[in-house]
Amino acid sequence: MSKEEKRVPEVRFEGFHDDWKQRKLSDMVDTVKSYALSRSFETEKNTGTKYIHYGDIHTKKADKITNKSSIPNIKVGNYEYLRMGDVIIADASEDYQGIAMPAVIFEETVFNIVAGLHTIVLRPHLIDPIYLYYLFYSNSFRKYGYRVGTGMKVFGISKSNVLKFQTLFPSMTEQVRISTLLVKLDNAIALHQEKLAKLQSLKKAALQNLFPQKDETEPKVRFAYFSSSWQQRKLNELTIYQNGKGHEKKQFNQGDFELVNLNSISIDGGLKPSGKFINEAEDTLNKNDLVMVLSDVGHGDLLGRVALIPENNRFVLNQRVALLRPNKSVSPEFLFFYINTHQRYFKSQGAGMSQLNISKSSVENFANYIPVYEEQIKIGQTLKKLDDLITLHQQKLEKLQNLKKAFLQKMFI
């Protein structure tokens, strides 16, 4: 007998064997009054009463609500207050993905809480509140929400349709086991997000302090034993410039050499797969070559962004991307960080209407102050270590987020 016929999820804790039972949500919750309180009701004063606006649910400002949650204060009024365990969902969204996003009163709070504009409040009595919170993220409810949601520019779901939702539920004991696991996973995700944010702030501070700022000739912070003045150099003194060539007529989805095109360079200077290949190449890129975006649509935030080539004889330059091959007077890693830190110069050089372009002369005339080679190496290595740490935490965070996504798919029916 299949798991579906047995009415059990694909992934389950040991010790649970009973079939899950079909229930309608209206049989498992009561509803609580919400109020059409807009942002105009908010106040800077600490009134002892806070509220949940549907917009704060979408931004996660209102999520698992505790005494530390920074939801807004409102003016005191004659309201019905929420309790620990109440689940609040947003009944309006700008897209279908946001329909019925949930929040939950996670602990007893020292302040009163009121449900505000575009919210529906459910008070569980035959279901674990945290399990219900996660149920709204499960595939079964998301698909249901897309089906019964209404609207064109703003999408919504009615209280009656929320209460009509029915699915298979486990015992209360199994619900608590599932919700406890997901809370632990959310806590781990939050911890990694906090670590990642700190590393990103540290890198931002390092870039501001290790490179000269506008109208400065030396940085604010220098490593020990380096005291010689930074010297002004143009990019054409440090690199050999070369334009890419067009390969549109011989591109494939697989091949011997990957093309570096405008899609290959990310906003932070990372090298991304282009998905385009050729099988013959007269000139391949070398390890530690820099490749630069010469064209961009929109605001030009990618203009002048560079990426480092990681290995020899694998990549070929496509048109509208430039090669900057560093000479022996400059560290490739130092130059990578230095150019990306000064992207505002290249953005200012962009010319065009629907598409902005920068010229060879604009690139080669970029001038700034650089230190001796040994100090370049030290700066480049320091920033590379920070980048590696950031990448590591991003990968760990992505794994945890994917694990949570898998559990939401496989631990619910």
Residue 160 has pLDDT above 50, yes or no: yes
Residues 188 and 307 both lie in one domain: no
pLDDT (average), residues 87-111: 95
The rounded percent of the chain whose pLDDT value lies above 70 is 99
Has residue 330 got a pLDDT over 50? yes
Q: What's 277's domain CATH number?
A: 3.90.220.20
Q: Which amino acid is at 378?
A: K
317 DSSP β-pair partners: 260
In a domain, residue 245? The reply is yes
pLDDT tens per residue across span 282-328: 899 999 999 999 999 878 899 999 999 999 999 999 999 999 999 99
Asked whether residue 1 carries a pLDDT value surpassing 50, the answer given is no
Residues 6+ apart with CB under 8 A from 374: 226
The number of distinct structural domains making up the chain is 3
The DSSP element (H or E) to which 162 belongs, if any, is helix 159-164
Q: Is residue 68 part of a domain?
A: yes
| Same domain membership, residue 148 and residue 56 | yes
Pair 188, 311 in one domain: no
Asked whether residue 1 is assigned to any structural domain, the reply reads no
364 and 286 housed in the same domain: yes
Residues 375 and 350 placed together within one structural domain of the fold? no
List, as one string, the DSSP characters of 58-122. Answer: HTTSSSEE-TT--PPEE---S-PPP-TT-EEEESEESSGGGTT-EEEE-S--SSEEEE-TTEEEE
The per-residue pLDDT for range 333-368, each reduced to its tens digit, is 999 999 999 999 999 999 988 899 999 999 999 999
Nearest to 91, CA basis, from 178, 197, 163: 163
Please give the pLDDT value at position 3.
47
**pLDDT value at 187 more than 90:** yes
Alpha-carbon distance of 207 to 344, in angstroms, equals 14
DSSP 249-294: GG-BSS-SEEEE-TTSB-TTS-B-----EES--S-PPPTT-EEEE-
Helix (H, G, I), strand (E, B) or coil at 199: helix
Nearest Cα to Cα of residue 54 among 70, 35, 29, 69: 35
What's the average model confidence in pLDDT over 154-162? 95
Q: What is the pLDDT of residue 151?
A: 87
Residue 125 CB: number of other CB atoms within 10 A? 11
- Domain residues for 128? 21-169
CA distance 384 to 376: 12
pLDDT, average across residues 56-64 = 97
Q: Give CA 336 to chain center in angstroms.
A: 23
Q: Are residues 350 and 382 in the same domain?
A: no
Separation between Cα atoms, residue 159 and residue 345, nearest integer Å: 53
pLDDT of 298: 78
Q: Is residue 43 part of a domain?
A: yes
pTM, two decimals, is 0.86
Same domain, yes or no, for 35 and 130? Answer: yes
Do 194 and 333 share a structural domain? no
Is 10 a member of any domain?
no
> Would residue 91 count as lying in a domain?
yes
Nearest to 118 by CA among 87, 147, 90, 145: 90
**Do 266 and 126 share a structural domain?**
no
Q: Look at residue 45 and tell me whether its pLDDT is greater than 70.
A: yes
Q: Do 52 and 159 fall into the same domain? A: yes
**Residue 334 resides in a domain:** yes
Whether the predicted pLDDT of 5 surpasses 60? no
In this prediction, residues 2-21 reach a mean pLDDT of 83
User: Which pLDDT tens digit goes with each residue over 126-157?
Assistant: 999 999 999 999 999 999 999 999 988 889 99
How confident is residue 32, by pLDDT bands cut at 50, 70 and 90?
very high
pLDDT confidence bin for 411, thresholds 50/70/90: very high
Residue 265, both tokens: 């360079």
Q: Residue 328's pLDDT is what?
A: 96
pLDDT of 6 > 90? The answer is no
CATH number of the domain at 192, please. Answer: 1.10.287.1120
Question: Under 8 Å CB-to-CB from 70, ≥6 apart: which residues?
Answer: 61
* Single-letter amino acid code for the residue at 384: K
Q: Kindly report the average pLDDT of the chain as a whole number.
A: 95
Rounded to 10 deg, the angle between the 332-341 and 373-410 helix axes is: 70
Q: What is the pLDDT of residue 183?
A: 98
Greatest mean pLDDT among 43-57, 242-256, 341-355 lies in: 43-57
Do 149 and 196 sit in the same domain of this protein? no
Q: Which residue reads 């939050």 in tokens?
A: 190
